[in-house]
Structure 1
Amino acid sequence: MKILVTGGAGFIGSAVVRYLINFTHNHVINIDKLTYAANLKSLEMVSNNERYHFEQIDICNGQELNRIFRQYQPDAVFHLAAESHVDKSINSSANFIETNITGTYTLLEATRYYWSSLSEKSKNNFRFIHVSTDEVYGDLENTELFFTESMPYAPSNPYSASKASSDHLVSAWHQTYGLPTIITHSTNNYGPFQHAEKLIPLVIYNAINGKPLPIYGDGSQVRDWLYVEDHVKALYKVLEKGKMGETYNIGCNNEYKNIDLIFTICSILEELVPNHPVGIKQYKDLIQFVPDRLGHDYRYAIDSSKIKKELGWMPQENFISGLRKTVELIVKTRNL
């Protein structure tokens, strides 16, 4: 199978590419604009593989997308290219609208044009997997509820609104044109090669460099954390067994308050990096509470029973062991 991956130099996208090359026999065509969040080092271990192909392309460029489809003739698409940092979307939303909405539209049209030219057998076997976020559902507030696939969308910030919009486009292209699409919503990911602007790597890097560990509000916001490699395995299950037109939520039931997560990271660092930065007695002393983010959702939590029951996916990584792996990797490579 030939699989087109958009945003394959990003955090989750590169994990998808590595998995496809290292654990399957599929060919991979990775297209990425290479914005600030891309990291080609995350692909060094597969970049020379004969089944791997890279093209630097903006998904808003329909002409180039059409060329890619003609040249490589993929059997499936994993669409991960997106602007994803909430704070940046609040301060400057234009890029989020352009990439997440216009880019998804442009990709859908290029995919539809290519798909319509295929034989009936190839059409039936084709898959378009749109990788989205649980943030489209909005805020669970202080409840015991979980996000299910049937919950209404209620995005709270420009990022989640742009992703919700892209979801609706994907659904419409399935309903209107019959394009074989599937949507996935995952909770917060963590793991190797995550960009330093995200919470877990930010805390690790700041702590070992003696910089403040900023916490919005009182740190009571709750997130469910999913190891990126477990997410990738779920996506591959969706590709293999998912039903067209369906949505699958992907979570791990690893709910932590932000403040507790940061204390846990500090505790791991005390063991791994006992030599503190100058003037610091304990890493937790670096914690600083800052004014809360605009439109900050209190709690995200996903009900993953559908993908577990229908597709047989189960997360493999324990949160603490996965977090420790992540801290160890950053500590090991920070001076490289």
Structure 2
Amino acid sequence: KLKLSRKSLIELITEEYYNPKTGLVLDPRKDEIITLKQCLDTGFANPNRTKIRDPKNDALLTINEASEELLDLEKGILTYPYKMTLDVAYSKGYLLPTQPPMTLPEAVMQGLIDNGLILPGKTLGIKRSLEGGLLVDSPCLVHDSGLITPLEAIDGGAMDAQSGDFRGMPLDKALISGFLVPQKSFTVKEAVSTGVYSPKTGLFSGGITTNAAIQSGLLDPDTTIIRTTDGPESFKDSADKETGRIATQKGELDFSEAFRKGVIADLPRPAGIVQACEELLTGIGLFLDPRTGSYLTLDEAVKEQLIDGINTLVDTPQGTITLQEALKRKVVDPNSGTVQGLPLKD
């Protein structure tokens, strides 16, 4: 009989037992499709091998703690800061392994670096940990306006081979200061601010194009829009993904210039209703979803978590209710978004 070791949440994702389209997991023991909760309850997955980083305050939660507020074990998704599948959550650095192999930021966030990598009964120097495969040598250090790997930093003299101090700075301080970058995937704005994108070349770390950065998962363009005179357009549809530039009536701009001049905007998801009306509402009364490029009614936008339906409040003669409830009761027209005949913007 096939005996499988208990998987971590991350292994479920990387070994493709988890299906992002359904949020469900293949259990090869019985060849059944089950929920993440069943996966944990039946012992196929080990909850102790993964921590969840809370996007609200960066606190590290157990799976049990996370399931109370931001991890939906039935749907197999993270619900905050917006609904995202677990593969996306992992790429954004919200899922952390509790034991090696792990990235340098993952080790630092869990307090496992103190003059080397802390292991049961001993501490191993950073260089030896990297060479032994206990730490993953992935690009995570900001250096000369780009990202480099820890071994590159050690070879170049920017990192201490034993302690991991970067430019004379302990790694926990480097994390707080933004020199040690935890996520594996960046929004356009994050890519510009961390130096993952080079305005000079229009390329991303490793010399890759915008298109390649999106395909590899390095760049997440789903929350970025381009402001035009005709209304908002999705970054994916309008940016030149080969040159790393934006075409405007006054000429081409690199992404850094485009942010400075207000041509590009990065929006939270879900966005507040005021911001959504200012940035996503089109001339035809529908909201642009930058993730898909499609146009949604107000009701659809709330259901797709494009607009915050919980924290947006609507005044009614009976009292204040959430936008979600107002749409359900048709106090706000689900299609036109009008409130008692008045357009939403008014």
TM-score > 0.5 by shorter chain: no
More helix by share: 1
Superposition TM-score, scaled by structure 1 size: 0.28
Query: Greater relative contact order: 1 or 2 (C-alpha under 8 angstroms, separation 6 or more)?
Result: 1
Higher strand share: 2
TM score, norm. by length of structure 2: 0.27
